[in-house]
Amino acid sequence: MKTKRKLDSNTVLVFITIALFVVMYAIGCGIYQDKGFGNLQTFLNILINNAGLICVTCGMTCVMLTGGIDISVGSVIAMDCMLLVYGMTEWKMGAVQMVILILVIGLIFGAVQGFLVGYLEIQPFIVTMAGMFFARGMTAVICSGQISITEADNPTFYAWANSKINLPEFLGKANRHGKIVVPYIRPTVIIAFLVLILIFLMLKYTKFGRNLYAVGGNQMSATMMGLNVKKTKMLSHVLSSLLCSIGGILYCLNTMSGSVNQATGLEMDAIASAVIGGTLLTGGVGNVIGSFFGVMITGTITVLVNTNGKLLSSWANIATAALLCIFIILQSVFALVKARRNK
């Protein structure tokens, strides 16, 4: 039995994603060598910039595994950021208190959405679309302007946002001004990785994690096998909203501000990343490692477009869409070829 184990299609999709990422990054380094694309810090910046998105995508992956979707995440992040900032500036609340409050709100938000999806069996797209409207509207209700946290408002939070974790000095490189710039990451990246690892372990090694896959594989069967499908679906939304709240906090640590239009369309980034990472919208297939590389790929696409710096606004969008298109088609072709070979 040990001989030549068949790779199952899920794993293959993840490998395709990783391979495509490596190829794309290598090409980027080749073309934009002189613009510092190959710097270690460029790579780390992708992590720093997308720490929040990584968390959100982990949650999104969990929901998508059950065959659901959560399009409220972008708005929830906007709401979280606004509330965090507002709480710290207007109510003078402590950073820790606010973080806890945000997490609790995330839990409640997820529980309501989860209840509607799981127990009332309303389509997740519609429930979370309502959630999206609600959260976006609430953002404006909290405050319709643009507010930010400064050092004076909340030194703790400010310190969290500005602390750097330097990598070993020898990785550093002198910049044009003669300064040795030591590559660094921010604590947000560490948190994002922790979340990633925890969710990975949860999906693989806990009953709840496996239930997510079962429900997505065949809901009817899962019921017949004695799983509590309703509860599983509900919890998937709770988890998604919770991770989204964590993501919101990381996002806020990056932007340090709240505004009504923040994070619009982030749900699409999260969905696209998960899909590029091999998660199927139909459920049952996917894992967070893939989703992580999905985020890295969308992040790299952005950096490539930015580094080019000659693209008109429209071309930048078209380039992003074209790369996305190539990815999706490549994946689909690989999948079709594999399916044919399996037959």
Partner 1 sequence: MDENILITMRDISKSFPGVKALDHAQFTLRKGEIHALMGENGAGKSTLIKVLTGVYSLDAGEIHVAGVDGPVINHSTLEAQEKGIATVYQEVNLCPNLTVAENLFIGREPKTPIGTIDWRTMNKKAKEIVDGLELKIDVTIALENYSLAIQQMIAIARAVDMDCKVLILDEPTSSLDDNEVEKLFKVMRDLKAKGVGIIFVTHFLEQVYEVCDTITVLRNGEFAGEYSVEEMPRVKLVAAMLGKDFDDLASIKKEGASHVSDDVVVDATNLSHKGTIKPFDFQIKKGEVVGVTGLLGSGRSEMVRCIYGADKAQTGELKVNGKKLNIKEPLDAIKAGMGYLPDDRKADGCIGDLSVRENIILALQAKNGMFKKIPASKQNEIADKFIDMLQIKTASRETPINQLSGGNQQKVILARWLCTHPDFLILDEPTRGIDIGTKTEFQKLALKFAEEDGMSIVFISSEIEEMLRTCTRMYVMRDGAQVGEISGEMTQESVMAAIAGGGE
Partner 2 sequence: MENFKKLAKKPLFLPIFCMILVLLINVIKSPDFFAIKINNGVLFGRIIDILNRGSEIAILAVGQTLVVAVSAGTDISVGSVMSLSACGCCMLLAGYGNNSVSELAVPMVVGMLFGVFMGGLSGAMNGALVAKLKIQPMVATLILFTAGRAIGLLLCNNQITYIRYEPYKYLGNFLPGCPIPTPVFVAIIVIAIVSILLKKTALGLYIQSVGINSRAARISGINSEVICFICYVICGICAGIAGIVASSRIYSADSNNIGLTFELDAILAVALGGNSLGGGKFNLAGSIIGAYTIQAITTTLLAMGVSTDKAPVFKAIIVIIIVVVQAPAFKAYMAARRAQKASVKEAA
Partner 3 sequence: SDGGSTGGAAPADGGEATEAEGGDAAASGDVITVGFAQVGHESDWRTASTKSVQDAFSAANGYDLQFVDCDNDSKAQIDAVRQFVQNDVDYIVIDPIVSTGWDTVLTECEDAGIPVIVIDRTIEDSDKYVSWVGSEFMNEGLASGAWLKAYAEAKGIDDLNVLVIEGSNGSSAQIGRTDGFKKYADEEGWTILDSQDGNFTQEGGQQVMESYCKSYAGKFNVVVCQNDNEAFGAMDAMKAAGVSYGVDGDVILISFDACKAGLEYVQSGDINADFMCYPLQGSYCADIIKALQNGETVAKETFMTEPWYVAEDILPSITYTNNAGEEVTEDLIVVTDAASQASY
Binding site for partner 1 (CB under 8 A): 1, 5-6, 8-10, 201, 204-207, 210-211, 213-214, 216-218, 220-228, 284-285, 340-343
Judged by DSSP in three states, 164 sits in coil
- Give the pair of three-digit tokens for residue 146: 């643009």
Applying CB under 8 A, among 122, 130, 138, 181 the residue interacting with partner 3 is 181
C-alpha 200/C-alpha 209 separation (Å) is: 9
Decide: 13 and 328 in contact? Cβ < 8 Å: no
- Give the pair of three-digit tokens for residue 237: 């939304």
Tokens 């969290």, located at residue: 160
Measured from the CB atom, the residue of 69 and 253 that comes closer to partner 2 is 69
When CB distances are held under 5 to 8 angstroms depending on the partner's kind, the choice from partner 2, partner 3, partner 1, none that residue 156 binds is none
- For 226-269, what is the HEC assignment? CCCHHHHHHHHHHHHHHHHHHHHHHHHHHHCEECCCCCCCHHHH
When CB distances are held under 5 to 8 angstroms depending on the partner's kind, the choice from partner 3, partner 1, partner 2, none that residue 30 binds is none
Phi, psi (degrees; rounded to nearest 5) at 315 = -65, -35
Instruction: Mention every residue, 6+ apart, whose C-beta is less than 8 A from residue 281.
Output: 64, 67, 69, 271, 275
Measured from the CB atom, the residue of 310 and 343 that comes closer to partner 1 is 343
Q: How far is the CB of 9 from partner 1 (least distance, A)?
A: 8
- For partner 3, the binding residues in 122-151 under the rule CB under 8 A are 140, 144-151
User: By CB under 8 A, is residue 291 in contact with partner 3?
Assistant: no
When CB distances are held under 5 to 8 angstroms depending on the partner's kind, the choice from partner 3, partner 2, partner 1, none that residue 155 binds is none
When CB distances are held under 5 to 8 angstroms depending on the partner's kind, the choice from partner 2, partner 1, partner 3, none that residue 137 binds is partner 2
Phi, psi (degrees; rounded to nearest 5) at 7 = -75, 130
User: By CB under 8 A, is residue 160 in contact with partner 3?
Assistant: no
Measured from the CB atom, the residue of 167 and 311 that comes closer to partner 2 is 311
Instruction: Mention every residue, 6+ apart, whose C-beta is less than 8 A from residue 256.
Output: 85, 148, 149, 158, 161
User: By CB under 8 A, is residue 332 in contact with partner 3?
Assistant: no
- Give the pair of three-digit tokens for residue 156: 């703790």
Measured from the CB atom, the residue of 2 and 177 that comes closer to partner 1 is 2
Reference 183, options 48, 28, 32, 300; nearest CA is 48
When CB distances are held under 5 to 8 angstroms depending on the partner's kind, the choice from partner 1, partner 2, partner 3, none that residue 122 binds is partner 2
When CB distances are held under 5 to 8 angstroms depending on the partner's kind, the choice from partner 3, partner 2, partner 1, none that residue 4 binds is none
DSSP E strand stretches across 140-233: 147-148, 165-166, 173-174, 180-181, 184-185
Phi, psi (degrees; rounded to nearest 5) at 165 = -110, 110
Binding mask 297-326 for partner 3 (x = CB under 8 A): -----xx-xxx-xxxxxx-xx---------
Phi, psi (degrees; rounded to nearest 5) at 184 = -140, 160
- Give the pair of three-digit tokens for residue 266: 């982030």
Quick one: CA dihedral 38, 39, 41, 42, positive or negative?
A: negative
Q: Enumerate binding residues for partner 2 (CB under 8 A).
A: 69, 116, 119-123, 125-127, 129-134, 136-141, 144, 260, 268, 271-272, 275, 280-282, 312-318, 320-322, 324-325, 328-329, 332-333, 335-336
User: By CB under 8 A, is residue 156 in contact with partner 3?
Assistant: no
When CB distances are held under 5 to 8 angstroms depending on the partner's kind, the choice from partner 2, partner 3, partner 1, none that residue 221 binds is partner 1
Q: How far is the CB of 192 from partner 2 (least distance, A)?
A: 24
User: By CB under 8 A, is residue 264 in contact with partner 3?
Assistant: yes
When CB distances are held under 5 to 8 angstroms depending on the partner's kind, the choice from partner 2, partner 3, partner 1, none that residue 257 binds is partner 3
Tokens 């404006």, located at residue: 140
